[in-house]
A and B are shown apart, each in its own frame.
Chain A
């Protein structure tokens, strides 16, 4: 067969594929598109033959472009919508945390231990915390948790309404989660840095309130939203560390492959952290400013911590990975 005959022979096939593709790319394709996979395979075959026979470039390029286009159409997967998202959070996220339980406890320890250390030593040695917080930080703490002040007044003054505060927390805190994760790719250094910085700052705030403010106001304010928020901070760092660790120790696969695999494992963690932080923003915007007796605040706060812990421990246990 001469090249010209070959070209003539395959032309109706790729023209048919082109027609079918146009049809399939419409929003309501006709039943004709069912022939697409078969036609695609034929054209793929033609492309292989054309490549092997070193047909003119314009022919191979045309077939190549068609093959790419069809493959996109055939492989298009719908993201699954809200159902998939809910599943990602309720099932895959806690599963991912449990699968990486060592990393979780490391990150938890790296977050809470330095914070506790700073908080404990600050009442005796307040200089460190004062340096960390700076004059602005100290002023803010005075106006929130001082002897005669309430955090809800401060928040009302700065944001106006609970909703505005909620939006601010989403914008600020969820962005920090995302950045913490991204920083993790630098061998985990970025995520670790953010984690430790947040830890020390948090410790300084608690220590300083014990030193010069009213600890009860602080605890009633943070106890509820702290549960999802602090867990979110830890888990976003964990997602970053997961990716960073694959750079440092790829294990038995190539580093490039390890990175891709780690990314897949980190995604549910990242999404989970973002959702937890968003929940924290809801609580911090609407629940925490309510003036309620400390007993109720502490009961609700305790419930929040319990709920987060139970969720991470038990949610999605019955679901297998296969589904």
Chain B
């Protein structure tokens, strides 16, 4: 499978020999998830504090309530993330709301040990404040891993790969064999172009098609037409369905 280098897709080979692609999440969306988790944690802490100090002192006394509350804070501080990340969903509520998920680098779910590692090291990733160490570390690793992720061997990925529905579009361009022998990567680029072109505005299509000038030897609408023709040829070298003759400009794409 060929992927543009600028993409955030990470190939992982599973034990079963197949290669899957993980879409790793960057610092921005993870910060959002963290903020949501932080708000949830603070909210729960406050709620529990109110309830506990309203109800418990009469039952077990003030000191006991204080102690129990400290224990609760301790567990929330260290095990909130561990509990959710090692759970079946592999994500905290904040991460889930951002459609993120923690995974092992191998593509499998995170184990309890991994969840403990990556979350206990938050202390260092946070230094000297606002997760500066973690963010810098993420920018220097190709899988956006902070220190905790590096030690635990985990990545944060998007849980759902957005499946865009390519509209059924009839592309009216004349099939033509490419003027040069194309590598597999180039062929894939062409096919992806054809698949996505209907989603763009005409100017954008032309702009991108013009980049392929060495191949099409034409600019503007003519370049676009030739490029689409070549992509169509790659899909099926011979025309069996009898496509209607090609039209000009925007008329090429008919849904």
Chain A residues within 8 Å of B, Cβ to Cβ: 2-3, 40-41, 44-45, 47-48, 51, 54, 56-58, 60-62, 64-65, 67-68, 71-72, 75-77, 79, 159-161, 163-168, 170-171, 174-175, 178-179, 181-183, 185-186, 190, 243, 256, 259-260, 262-264, 267, 270
Q: Which residues of A have CB within 8 Å of B165?
A: 58
Give the docked Cα–Cα distance between A24 and B205 (Å).
44
A77: chain B residues within 8 A (beta carbon): 109, 111
CB closest chain-A residue, reference B77: A175
CB of B62, distance to nearest CB on chain A (Å): 7
- The answer to whether A79 and B111 have CB atoms under 8 Å apart is yes
Contact partner, A267, options B61, B68, B90, B117, Cβ 8 Å: B117
The interface residues of chain B lying within 8 Å CB-to-CB of A182 are 120-124
> Smallest distance from the beta carbon of A177 to chain B beta carbons, Å?
10
Given contacts A58-B166, A75-B108, A185-B124, contact A44 B18 (CB under 8 A): yes
Stretch at the interface among B34-42, B147-155, B209-217, B221-229: B147-155
A167 to B109, CA, bound (A): 33
Which label, helix, strand, loop or mixed, suits the secondary structure of the A interface? helix
Contact sample, A vs B, 17 pairs, CB 8 Å cutoff: A44-B17, A54-B191, A56-B166, A56-B191, A56-B195, A58-B165, A65-B160, A71-B108, A75-B109, A76-B109, A77-B109, A160-B66, A170-B74, A175-B77, A182-B123, A256-B150, A259-B150
Q: B153: which of A45, A68, A159, A260 is its contact (CB, 8 Å)? A: A260
Chain B residue at smallest Cβ distance from A264: B113
User: How far is B107's CA from A68's CA once the two chains are assembled, in angstroms?
Assistant: 7
- Among the listed A47, A58, A163, which residue makes an inter-chain contact with B163, where contact means beta carbons less than 8 Å apart? A58
Shortest B129–chain A CB gap in Å is 15
Q: A45 to B160: give the CA distance in the assembly, Å.
A: 21
Say yes or no: A79 contacts B123, CB within 8 Å.
no
Contact B67 A71 (CB under 8 A): no
- Does B180 sit at the interface, judged by CB under 8 A? no
**Cα distance A179–B71 in the bound complex, in angstroms:** 17
Contacts of B5 on A, CB cut-off 8 Å?
none
- Asked if residues A267 and B123 are in contact (CB atoms below 8 Å), the reply is no
- Select A51's contact among B1, B16, B78, beta carbons within 8 Å: B1
Chain B residues with CB under 8 Å of A62's CB are 163
How many residues of B sit at the interface, in one of the four size bands?
Answer: 35 or more
Mask: chain B, 10-24; 1 = CB below 8 Å from A; 0 = not: 000010111111100
CB atoms of A185 and B20 under 8 A apart: no
B164 interface residue (CB < 8 Å to A): yes
**From B62, B71, B103, B150, contact of A170 by CB (8 A):** B71
- In contact, A185 and B191 (Cβ under 8 angstroms): no
Whether A51 lies near B19 (C-beta < 8 A) is yes
The reply to whether A65 and B63 contact each other, CB–CB distance below 8 Å, is no
How many Å from the CB of A266 to the closest CB on chain B?
A: 8
Interface residues of B in 160-216 (CB under 8 A from A): 160-161, 163-166, 184, 187-188, 191-192, 195
- Is B112 among interface residues, defined by CB-CB distance under 8 A? yes
A261 to B178, CA, bound (A): 50
Residues 46-94 of B at the A interface (beta carbon under 8 Å): 61-64, 66-68, 70-71, 73-74, 77-78, 86, 88, 90
Given contacts A72-B90, A76-B88, contact A57 B124 (CB under 8 A): no
Partner among B64, B116, B151, B164 whose Cβ is within 8 Å of the Cβ of A185: B151
Report A28 CB to chain B, min CB distance, Å.
Answer: 14
Take A161-B61, A256-B150, A259-B150 as given contacts and tell me if A79 and B112 are in contact as well, using a CB distance cutoff of 8 Å: yes
9 residue pairs, one from A and one from B, having the closest CB atoms:
A160-B63, A167-B67, A164-B67, A44-B18, A75-B108, A51-B1, A182-B123, A263-B151, A164-B63
